[in-house]
Chain A
Amino acid sequence: MANAKSTNALSIEGINKVFGRPGKPTVEALRNIDLTIKEGEFVSIVGASGSGKSTLLRIIDGLLPATSGVVKVSGAPVTKPGSDRAMVFQQDALLPWKSVRDNVAYGLVIGGTPKRDAHATAMRFIEMAGLKGFEHHYPHQLSGGMRQRVNVARALAVNPRILLLDEPFAALDAQTREIMQSELLNIWQKSKTTVLLITHQIDEAVYLSDRVVVFSARPGQVREEIPIPLPRPRDLEVKRHEAFGALVDKIWHLIEHEVRSAVADNRA
């Protein structure tokens, strides 16, 4: 038991989320989510849009309360955001008036780290993210891919136990996305952080993860967990493997029906 406790970085127990305001019909976003993630594991959640993936991530980060159920980080229940978790958002969430260095140092400074130490740490992560020489640039002077690297560096700088990624590369073009995926793998291998990634890109999930969790839509439920036994370290070559294609196909078949009905919903 003590052993299980030390190896589960994150455990999600019976999470339900119902959105509702008085006088309006309620929306059930998540139903009975149970999920555990081991220390150092890279797990992705895929599902059709509207399956509550982002909602779950916000609950884990402590930005949103669950209707029922509990999220535990290293055994301790989550009630609010904390430095044991850090989030990278899909949209650009950098402060436009702060330089790259000050943006990366932001979480540390908010947490009370003295400015000079925060800047020193920030420089380490800027280098790790391949942005050395850009520390005094401002976000509007960087490309979309570079900005998202700053976002990742800012999240990692607070030394979180768990890195939460909410479709971090969705806004990037296809080529940049591929590069960013392999760079994320590099960074993850160096930092040994536990990662939970939300994505709608199945190949991205398979390429990066140890395990892919497939969500069903409305309300979001865990439909299946699929281990990804591809060898590590992986490079982009792995995407041409037969096994890779088979895994992508398998996951696609699991969610195809829901993606189609979500598309139909959007058209209606």
Chain B
Amino acid sequence: MRSFMDFIEGPTRTASLARFMLCAICVLGLWQVLATYVVTNRLLLVPPMDVARALRTEGVSGALWTNALATVSAVAAAFPIAVVLGVGIGLALASSRFLALTVGPMLTALNSVPVVALAPLFIAWLGLGFASKFVIVTIFSIFPILVTTEVGLKATDKILVEASRSFNASRWQIFTTVTLPFALPFVISGIRVAWARALVAIIVAEFFGSFAGFGFAILAAGQSFDTATLLAYVIVLGVLGLVGSIFFEWLERRLAPWRHE
């Protein structure tokens, strides 16, 4: 028992995989027990095997791929734009006191408005489909990136900047060799948060109006009381979120190993 605990708490890759598997098995087991003995109404909850079967059916019929294409293409187009714009605006705010004092408060106000509530408006402007999804995802996921970029750039150790200046570095050299590398891990963690928000935004956008996509499929399944299919799509979304999160966390560790030891 002792050695098992040592292994499972260990830093190895196998241990972290084992931890994940253990967790997943527990959750699935609990779910199975809950669906078999507690919530027996199949409209409310279906056991995991039914969900897996529904997922296979969607895959075989091709619906899964059609929906995946609609959702993933919108996110894949909008997310990089959100990253570029977010970093750009964060940079502008960090480097100009005037912008930080004028545009900054406005952006903070905009950030506290739940932008997804504006989704119907964007759909009215841009119609159903790609364009409205693109805009909603971009606007909703831009804020965490913008904020962390600004914070990261401003957080740079004064002493590092001074040391760089002491070698007669130009402003541009200070930016590229000190400020930017210092801010990078901040930016990446902002991107990680933004990824989760992008997935929320795309589903909301697809709820309000679209012909295809995971949000569309979830809504359709819900309206026809097809709980198994609904949960199947939710799980696909969960996997998408998890993969993104793991990737950005890995990237952050790679780019800033000194912050993790």
Residues of chain A having any CB pair with chain B under 8 Å: 61-63, 80-83, 86-87, 89, 91-93, 95-97, 106-107, 110-111, 138-141, 158
Q: Which of A95, A111, A140, A141 has the most CB of B within 10 A?
A: A95
With A95-B178, A139-B258: A80-B159 Cβ-Cβ less than 8 Å: no
Q: How far is the CB of A167 from the nearest CB of chain B, in Å? A: 13
Residues of chain B having any CB pair with chain A under 8 Å: 159-160, 162-169, 173, 177-178, 181, 255-258, 261
Chain A residues closer than 8 Å to B164, beta-carbon distance: 106, 110
Chain A residues closer than 8 Å to B162, beta-carbon distance: 63, 89, 93
Chain B residues closer than 8 Å to A139, beta-carbon distance: 258
Q: How far is the CB of B68 from the nearest CB of chain A, in Å? A: 37
Closest to A140 in B: B258
A139 CA to B261 CA in the complex, in Å? 11
With A89-B159, A95-B160, A140-B261: A63-B167 Cβ-Cβ less than 8 Å: no
Q: Is the CB of A111 within 8 A of B166?
A: no
A62 CA to B166 CA in the complex, in Å? 8
A61 CA to B163 CA in the complex, in Å? 10
Q: Is the CB of B168 within 8 A of A86?
A: no
Chain A residues closer than 8 Å to B261, beta-carbon distance: 140-141
Q: Is the CB of A97 within 8 A of B167?
A: no
A246 CA to B158 CA in the complex, in Å? 40
Q: Is the CB of B167 within 8 A of A111?
A: yes
Q: How far is the CB of B32 from the nearest CB of chain A, in Å? A: 46
Q: Is the CB of B257 within 8 A of A138?
A: yes
Q: Is the CB of B181 within 8 A of A81?
A: no
A96 CA to B163 CA in the complex, in Å? 13
Q: Which of B165, B168, B181 has the most CB of A within 10 A?
A: B168
- Which residue of A82, A89, A97, A158 contacts B163 across the interface (Cβ within 8 Å)? A89
Q: How far is the CB of A191 from the nearest CB of chain B, in Å? A: 18
Q: How far is the CB of B245 from the nearest CB of chain A, in Å? A: 23
A83 CA to B169 CA in the complex, in Å? 10
Q: Is the CB of B167 within 8 A of A81?
A: yes
A80 CA to B169 CA in the complex, in Å? 11
Report the number of A-B residue pairs with Cβ-Cβ less than 8 Å. 56
Q: How far is the CB of B178 from the nearest CB of chain A, in Å? A: 7
Chain B residues closer than 8 Å to A141, beta-carbon distance: 261
Q: Is the CB of B177 within 8 A of A63?
A: no
Closest to B173 in A: A110
Q: Is the CB of B256 within 8 A of A97?
A: yes
Q: Is the CB of B173 within 8 A of A87?
A: no
Q: How far is the CB of A99 from the nearest CB of chain B, in Å? A: 11
Chain B residues closer than 8 Å to A80, beta-carbon distance: 168
- Which residue of B168, B173, B181, B255 contacts A95 across the interface (Cβ within 8 Å)? B181
Q: Is the CB of A93 within 8 A of B258?
A: no
Q: How far is the CB of B141 from the nearest CB of chain A, in Å? A: 27
Q: How far is the CB of B33 from the nearest CB of chain A, in Å? A: 47
Q: Is the CB of B177 within 8 A of A61?
A: no
Q: Is the CB of A93 within 8 A of B181?
A: no
A138 CA to B178 CA in the complex, in Å? 16
Chain B residues closer than 8 Å to A83, beta-carbon distance: 167-168
Q: Is the CB of A93 within 8 A of B167?
A: no
Q: Is the CB of A107 within 8 A of B181?
A: no
Q: Is the CB of A61 within 8 A of B258?
A: no
Q: Is the CB of B177 within 8 A of A82?
A: no
- Which residue of B168, B177, B255, B257 contacts A111 across the interface (Cβ within 8 Å)? B168
Chain B residues closer than 8 Å to A97, beta-carbon distance: 181, 255-256, 258
Give the 10 A-B residue pairs with the shortest CB-CB distance, closest first.
Answer: A93-B163, A96-B258, A107-B167, A140-B258, A81-B168, A110-B167, A87-B166, A91-B159, A110-B169, A93-B159
Chain A residues closer than 8 Å to B181, beta-carbon distance: 95, 97
Q: Is the CB of B257 within 8 A of A81?
A: no
Q: Is the CB of B166 within 8 A of A63?
A: yes
Q: Is the CB of A86 within 8 A of B166?
A: yes
Chain A residues closer than 8 Å to B178, beta-carbon distance: 95
Q: Is the CB of B165 within 8 A of A81?
A: yes
A93 CA to B163 CA in the complex, in Å? 6
Q: Which of A86, A93, A111, A139 has the most CB of B within 10 A?
A: A93
Q: How far is the CB of A85 from the nearest CB of chain B, in Å? A: 8
Chain B residues closer than 8 Å to A138, beta-carbon distance: 257-258
Chain B residues closer than 8 Å to A91, beta-carbon distance: 159
Q: List 23 A-B contacts (CB under 8 A).
A: A62-B168, A63-B166, A81-B166, A81-B167, A82-B168, A83-B167, A87-B163, A87-B166, A91-B159, A93-B159, A95-B177, A95-B181, A96-B256, A97-B181, A97-B256, A106-B164, A106-B167, A106-B177, A110-B164, A110-B167, A110-B173, A140-B257, A140-B261
A221 CA to B104 CA in the complex, in Å? 45
Chain A residues closer than 8 Å to B169, beta-carbon distance: 110
A96 CA to B178 CA in the complex, in Å? 10
